[in-house]
Structure 1
Amino acid sequence: MKKTTIQDLADYANVSIGTVDRVIHKRGKVSAVKQKKVEEAIKNLNFNPNLLARTLALGQQFNICSLLPRASNPNSYWSLPKRGIEEAIVDYRDFGIACHSIEYNLFDESSFVESADALLAMNPNGVILAPLFEKESLLFIKKLDAKKIPYIFIDAIIPNQNNLSYIGPDLNGSGHVAGKLMSSILNSSDDILILNFVKGLENSHINIIEKGFREFFHSLKETGKGKINTITVPSIEEVDITRELTKYYIKNPGTKGVFVTNSRAHIIAKYHTMHELSIKVVGFDMLQENIREMKNGNIDFLISQRPISQGTMAVKALFEYFVHKKSLVKIQHLPLDIIIKENIDYYIKFQEPVVVDQPNTMKNPD
């Protein structure tokens, strides 16, 4: 018979393995409700705590490195996967899992190369990677493969690689979802702008999202005269954004909707408010600034990609791989939550928590 593991207890009780560990060893604070759930799991699954050391291979250290974009402020998108990783490490550190965070500049390919080289010099047991610069990531992946260092992709995926798993959204599917949402609030004759804030679109996963968006509109049986245009702004500086958007809207006054392909929908929403433009906006993720603009009526739909869960699930997956020697599911797509003004408070309360509100500034958003 299969021996019960601490992970089995955690799954049965619907708590973290860190909580199970605290109950078993009677250390740390655990709520009465969780204490009872764990005790019931131990009883119902006939768990023998004496098997714990053998089951978890205690005493062996597994050093993980994460390579993610640098968050521009504590409330930006890339602070959230990192937060998920840090929270998961707290639960798993008693079982030999440690993590070192290495970051790169999202608008500078050379910084990715430098950070990747620094990571390799640390010779980690495993890597959590957001491969947002595809060409540079491919070179890095070859080096990981050569050193036989396992790695997991989050947020973006490069197909046909030896990654243990990909944990994140279906990129093409998220573009389809955004297209359907946009079509529900516009007429078929309305012009749409796809707005990318990225350095090197052809070298980025964002082009997959844009492709999905366009595919949805091409699939419609009834096609109007509306155009879908794209502009890419390789900057998050206010002066650059204002200049590019102003030039575009002067030439395209019939634009009725904007799809922002990442978490920066609040930037365009603020621009519309400043210039008194009535234009629909669809974007990604429940950042505080996006939440604020949605509540003010300036963003119509947000698609949540669960960035915190991406981080926690990546750590858990490596734990399962290292300690329990489990084979991982190659693709783990996370659900895409559709956020509107009417349900946003529910998601704030019951889904992934958002960080403390930050001052409302337009500079250095993420």
Structure 2
Amino acid sequence: MEKSKKVTIQDVANYANVSVGTIDRVIHNRGKVSPEKKQKIEEAIKKLNFNPNLIARTLALGSRFIVCALIPSSPHSGHYWSIPKDGLEKAENMYRDFGMVVDIFPFHLFDENSFNSQAQKILEQNPDGVIIAPLFVQESLEFVKKLEEKNIPCVFIDSDIPGQKSLTYIGPDVKQSAYIAAKLLNSVVGKENELLILHMVKGYENAAALKRMEAGFIEFFNEKKGDPTRIHKLTINSTNKDVVFRELTKFYIKNQNIKGVFVTNSKAFLVSDFHLTHELDIRVAGYDLVQENINHLKKGGIDYLISQSPQKQGVKAVQSLFELFVYKKEPGKIQNVPLDIIIRENVDFYINFN
């Protein structure tokens, strides 16, 4: 006989289309809830056969769950890493009444020592769970091993390290996302084209996802019949505009037939800026709806953006740990987020809807 699936408070919230906090107010008869919402929630509880006793027991015991998140720092609100951070904070607010606390430990995106220093601080706190953006492979592996020794569950977001004993990975299928980028660029460049895969990262060999992204991008053209495509690769160890412009200048002097660029992070706007400054007709595909990318998408310097739902990654990571702590419910090993393709014509609709 198939084991019945554990129903969580989030399942009830999704079914009734209300927040977790609203469910809590109805269960414990506190605060104001409209009669319509109360009826929806009561119907959802009955329909899903939800047992609120676990929540009541958690509150009665005064349980407190400490989650530490090790993610890159975000220097300003429009930076990519400010978006998953918003998701983590949103989820903390959702589950705050149930004892969830999320402490964020930011590390510098180009500094492995910063990652190690923050990881050590987390180990000293001995939290109940950890959320990691494992951008530095070797350092992440060492950290995960220490967490495993302490029996602390960890969740990977943004990029995965296959084969590791994380509780779950929440993020894009990076290989498939790169395959999609190749297909998109192929649709807008001419025949017998030359394309560039551009990484802006410190330490290509130690970056978690880049090799899989390259494999996905190249796989599309290996499968494609017809005109051959030459693919170049360039790694720039900085996201500083002057450095990026200097390296692109040197590259384009030697490779003047590039027709499209696939940028493997959220900095496609830097490449677009370079192209527009030098009046180069080169198509660009990249990731994520940071404000600078949106601006360049509207200018026409970026053709495609692939959204990886970074805020949802943060929310889902906290939710997965909450359901483990309270319901002993283990999530699936991989939780791939949907990949949305954004173009100039639909970007405003997409932003307004979300």
TM-score (norm. length: structure 1):
0.89
Does structure 2 conserve the Cα–Cα contact (< 8 Å) formed by 1:9 and 1:45?
A: yes
Assess, with a 3 A threshold, how the Cα gap between structure 1 residues 47 and 235 changes in structure 2: closer, same or farther: closer
Superimposed CA distance per residue, residues 3-38 of structure 1 (whole angstroms, 9 cap, x where no aligned partner): 975334213213331231234446567678755533
Displacement of 1:140 in angstroms is 0.7
Assess, with a 3 A threshold, how the Cα gap between structure 1 residues 312 and 29 changes in structure 2: closer, same or farther: farther
1:221 to 205, 222, 225: 225
1:301 to 293, 299, 304: 304
Provide the residue aligned with 2:70 in structure 1: 67
Provide the residue aligned with 2:112 in structure 1: 109
Report whether the alignment pairs 1:206 with 2:210: yes
Provide the residue aligned with 1:81 in structure 2: 84
1:238 to 226, 237, 241: 241
More deviation, 42-51/207-216: 42-51
Residues of 2 paired with 1:321 and 1:172: CA distance?
Answer: 29
Does structure 1 conserve the Cα–Cα contact (< 8 Å) formed by 2:171 and 2:336?
A: yes
Does structure 2 conserve the Cα–Cα contact (< 8 Å) formed by 1:186 and 1:257?
A: yes
1:313-328 maps to which residues of 2 (within 5 A)?
313-328=316-331
Does structure 1 conserve the Cα–Cα contact (< 8 Å) formed by 2:70 and 2:105?
A: yes
Report whether the alignment pairs 1:191 with 2:194: yes
Assess, with a 3 A threshold, how the Cα gap between structure 1 residues 47 and 172 changes in structure 2: closer, same or farther: closer
Assess, with a 3 A threshold, how the Cα gap between structure 1 residues 331 and 122 changes in structure 2: closer, same or farther: same
Residues of 1 paired with 2:27 and 2:159: CA distance?
Answer: 38
Displacement of 1:342 in angstroms is 1.4
What is the SS of the residue equivalent to 1:283? strand
Does structure 1 conserve the Cα–Cα contact (< 8 Å) formed by 2:131 and 2:155?
A: yes
What is the SS of the residue equivalent to 1:158? coil
2:123 to 120, 124, 127: 120
Provide the residue aligned with 2:291 in structure 1: 288
Residues of 1 paired with 2:293 and 2:235: CA distance?
Answer: 20
Residues of 1 paired with 2:168 and 2:256: CA distance?
Answer: 44
What is the SS of the residue equivalent to 1:323? helix
2:333 to 330, 333, 351: 330
Report whether the alignment pairs 1:311 with 2:303: no
Provide the residue aligned with 2:257 in structure 1: 254
Residues of 2 paired with 1:181 and 1:7: CA distance?
Answer: 36
- Runs (5+) with no aligned partner, structure 2: none
1:150-169 maps to which residues of 2 (within 5 A)?
150-169=153-172
Q: What letter is aligned with 2:129?
A: G
Assess, with a 3 A threshold, how the Cα gap between structure 1 residues 17 and 215 changes in structure 2: closer, same or farther: same
Superimposed CA distance per residue, residues 250-309 of structure 1 (whole angstroms, 9 cap, x where no aligned partner): 111111111100111111111111111111000001111111111111111100000000
Report whether the alignment pairs 1:21 with 2:27: no
Q: What letter is aligned with 1:190?
A: N
Provide the residue aligned with 2:15 in structure 1: 12
Superimposed CA distance per residue, residues 217-258 of structure 1 (whole angstroms, 9 cap, x where no aligned partner): 11212242x421111111111221111011111111111111
Displacement of 1:80 in angstroms is 0.7
Residues of 1 paired with 2:176 and 2:140: CA distance?
Answer: 23
Provide the residue aligned with 1:362 in structure 2: none
Provide the residue aligned with 1:272 in structure 2: 275
Displacement of 1:327 in angstroms is 1.8
Displacement of 1:57 in angstroms is 6.9
Does structure 1 conserve the Cα–Cα contact (< 8 Å) formed by 2:239 and 2:267?
A: no
Does structure 2 conserve the Cα–Cα contact (< 8 Å) formed by 1:19 and 1:91?
A: no
Assess, with a 3 A threshold, how the Cα gap between structure 1 residues 55 and 295 changes in structure 2: closer, same or farther: same
Displacement of 1:48 in angstroms is 7.5
What is the SS of the residue equivalent to 1:232? strand
Assess, with a 3 A threshold, how the Cα gap between structure 1 residues 193 and 98 changes in structure 2: closer, same or farther: same
More deviation, 94-103/342-351: 342-351
1:50-65 maps to which residues of 2 (within 5 A)?
52-54=55-57, 58-65=61-68
What is the SS of the residue equivalent to 2:192? coil
- Runs (5+) with no aligned partner, structure 1: 352-366
Q: What letter is aligned with 2:143?
A: F
1:172-191 maps to which residues of 2 (within 5 A)?
172-191=175-194
Displacement of 1:194 in angstroms is 1.1
Does structure 2 conserve the Cα–Cα contact (< 8 Å) formed by 1:285 and 1:305?
A: yes
Residues of 1 paired with 2:257 and 2:67: CA distance?
Answer: 50
Does structure 2 conserve the Cα–Cα contact (< 8 Å) formed by 1:56 and 1:323?
A: no
Provide the residue aligned with 1:132 in structure 2: 135
2:150 to 133, 147, 150: 147
